[in-house]
Chains A and B, each alone.
Chain A
Amino acid sequence: MLKVDRKTPYFFLLPGFGMMILLVFVPLLMGISFSFQNITQRNAYEKTFRVTELLADGGVAIKTEVQAATVKFVGLENYTKVFASNDFWQVFGQTLIWTFTNVFFHFVLGLGLALILNQQLRLKGMWRALLLIPWAVPSYITAFSWRWLFNGDYGFFNHLLKQVGLNGVSWLSDPFWSMFAVCVTNIWLGVPFMMITLLGGLQGIPDELYEASQIDGATPWQQFWSVTLPMLKPVAMVTVLLGIVWTFNMFNIIYLVTQDNPHTDILATFSFKAFFVRGEYGLACAYAVVILIILSLFSLLYLKVNKDNQVST
């Protein structure tokens, strides 16, 4: 029998764990602690005021005056501000719309394409490669291309509308259409991932099940509902939950397509603006903690689903 060495594995884990602490847990704890302080860009650091004066001998005297930081612990004040503001609830609503619209279409379109690709097709490899292109293109390039297509004066869509005699649409500024525009962009971007994962799931379903159901006289429709979907459920649940977590926090597409537009703000972009544009560090961290809590709930759900899957298989 092998002798179990209880210590060595921990030594191997140590560097990784150290990095985790440094890169994940320390910033996380700092962020959480900021959310209980009145910290802003104006009081977070000690200020050094440097005033210069010309001396008779041609030298320059630099007088430095240091003013200490004035950060205070303010309890839950940042959190009450977050929940009391109308902006938060509007942005929260937008985040839900954004997340669920995207994930819904990712799933439906991804599943549709996966089902098609799972058939006997000529040039299957080529179709699959073509459908993967949106995923292979760097997302900022996708974002800029779509932003150009949606351009109010010179974009492709408004050009088409004007050709048929309609008025152009304010794609990137109008409250409804700007959300529409970012969703379309992100759906285009996210379908391939869903498609490829679901295709993997489909290919894992044993052919015997289809053969058996065929002998029992099942129609393709019945096969889809009674064989494909139940067998796909473990994979589908996991990808959908992952999709929700990613989309909830998706920052780049919104930021690059509509830029600073209150109608497409989601919690992640809103928190970014509070931190970097307004310099409200404490408030921004409170937002981040709220996001963290919501996403933790989703992650717990994800872990539970994952565990159930392992039990069932």
Chain B
Amino acid sequence: MIAMKDLRLSLKWLFIFSFILLLVSCMGRNSKATSANTEVVRRTTDPVTVDFWHTFNDEEAGTLKEALASFQKEFPYITVKLQQVPFSDALNKYKTVAQAGNAPDIFRAEIAWTTELASMGYLMSLDAFLDQKAQADFVPQALAYSRYKGHIWGIPQVTDCLALFYNKRLTGPKPPATLEELITQGQKLTTPDGKQYAFFYRGDPYWFTPFVWAFGGDLIDNQSLQVKIAEEPAVKALNFLIDLRKKYKIVPESVDFANDYENMQIGFKNGQYAMIINGPWSTADLLDGPEFKNPDNLGIARIPQGPGGWGSPVGGHNYVVAASTQKLWASWEVIHYLSRPEIQARFALKNNLLPTRKSTYDLPAVKANRIIQSFKHVLDAANTRPVIPQSGAVFIDLKPAYQAALLGEKTPETALKEVEAAWKELLSAE
């Protein structure tokens, strides 16, 4: 009897519950027609505070603070409130606050994030501030990633690419120039006791891309946007990396994808790995290591070339301004100041970050900097990726497949076929 009553009671609640549910789900946002309006903002010198989220590492943040201190002298009415956000979380965090309309006025966005954020309507275009003449002073590969749908959405802050770092004490003055030499030279540099390996590569798919290009392949064609990742060159590239571990044994046998960035840096700094692949942002850290007490021991070269030539992804960061900002002029003053050649030069000389303006490269101090010039040489042969909102998201699908192939769970063919399917779906989405 009691059971029956219980049942009836819960049925009643079930009905009420489903009814509310139905109501909520049917409420669906009614689509208003697109609307448009225009407002005009003028430059003022009223005191303002500008929020600035950045993803600089600690050394770079030090340079940024110094630069902002001198900015304050010139623009006493603008206060900049800095917040450091870990690079790996920054995109999601920014999207979350931007959705709520609380985005920081200025954000340092990775180049692939810029188009994604612009396509979602989170950014303010900067067309008004950058005329043709100003645009012409930026390195074209860097500025390309700020352009989306005919507008400029960010100011290139830094450009980068991946290069081969080598420990000259171990490799001698000449690093391998081709992938074959990487193997032959690598076998001499690897000791059987497991104390020293010639090379180390990461399980992060960004570190896989140079090899795809070196074998003559591509991720997605820049013009036709055709997915190329499952084609033969990419499969060969993946097989090559697996062979380095399994067949030639010139990289460590065990892997640790969760920690491999730190492990790679530690191992290279201590002479455990003779060669690694990394970008300009890491040089300050490397030069702290015991092996590089004499900075000349650190060699920087193009990643060895394969049948398809050299490969290296052009990367970098832009300063972007939030669509919701009420402080457009002040935000512009800040990023405009930080983009001055002499400020870019400070980041270049102190933190080895590659400048984005041609006039910065013309400064004598920058010209004399060996690391910047080596990277410039690598950058000249680096590969650009299509400027589409999905440029960053492609790595979400590439990562598990690439790692599964490295672990031997899937063959390179199957793994990359899966990526191809996922990318086609990603690109077809609006």
CB of B3 to closest CB in A, whole Å: 12
Mark each residue of chain A from 269 to 292: 1 if its CB lies under 8 Å from any CB of chain B, else 0: 000000011110000000000000
CA distance A46 to B122 in the complex (A): 11
Which A positions have Cβ atoms within 8 angstroms of B?
A: 29-30, 32-33, 36-37, 41-55, 58-73, 147, 150-154, 158, 162, 167-175, 257-262, 276-279
Given contacts A66-B34, A173-B257, contact A73 B26 (CB under 8 A): yes
Q: What would 7 A/B residue contacts be, using CB atoms closer than 8 Å?
A: A53-B127, A55-B40, A66-B32, A147-B259, A151-B263, A152-B254, A172-B259
CA distance A55 to B255 in the complex (A): 57
Find out whether the CB atom of B125 lies under 8 angstroms from the CB atom of A73.
Answer: no
CA distance A66 to B36 in the complex (A): 6
CB of B6 to closest CB in A, whole Å: 11
Find out whether the CB atom of B403 lies under 8 angstroms from the CB atom of A173.
Answer: yes
Find out whether the CB atom of B257 lies under 8 angstroms from the CB atom of A63.
Answer: no
Find out whether the CB atom of B35 lies under 8 angstroms from the CB atom of A66.
Answer: yes
Find out whether the CB atom of A53 lies under 8 angstroms from the CB atom of B128.
Answer: yes
Give chain B residues whose Cβ lies under 8 Å from the Cβ of A54. 127-129, 131
Q: Which residue of B is nearest A256, CB measured?
A: B258
CB of A308 to closest CB in B, whole Å: 14
Query: Is B24 on the interface with A (CB-CB < 8 A)?
Result: yes
CA distance A131 to B151 in the complex (A): 62
Find out whether the CB atom of A173 lies under 8 angstroms from the CB atom of B203.
Answer: yes
16 extra A-B contacts, CB within 8 A, seeds A68-B33, A152-B255, A154-B266: A32-B25, A51-B125, A51-B127, A52-B128, A52-B129, A55-B40, A60-B41, A61-B39, A61-B128, A62-B328, A66-B35, A152-B256, A172-B258, A173-B407, A259-B258, A278-B393
Q: Top 7 nearest A-B pairs by Cβ distance?
A: A152-B256, A47-B121, A52-B128, A168-B254, A54-B128, A33-B25, A33-B24
CA distance A63 to B39 in the complex (A): 7
Q: How many A-B residue pairs lie within 8 Å, measured between CB atoms?
A: 171
CA distance A243 to B41 in the complex (A): 58
Find out whether the CB atom of B39 lies under 8 angstroms from the CB atom of A62.
Answer: yes
CB of A215 to closest CB in B, whole Å: 42
Give chain A residues whose Cβ lies under 8 Å from the Cβ of B25. 32-33, 36-37, 73
Find out whether the CB atom of B20 lies under 8 angstroms from the CB atom of A68.
Answer: no
Give chain B residues whose Cβ lies under 8 Å from the Cβ of A278. 393, 396
Query: Is B400 on the interface with A (CB-CB < 8 A)?
Result: yes
Find out whether the CB atom of A277 lies under 8 angstroms from the CB atom of B41.
Answer: no
CB of B33 to closest CB in A, whole Å: 7
Task: Give which listed residue, B33, B120, B203, B259, contacts A41 with CB less than 8 A.
Answer: B120
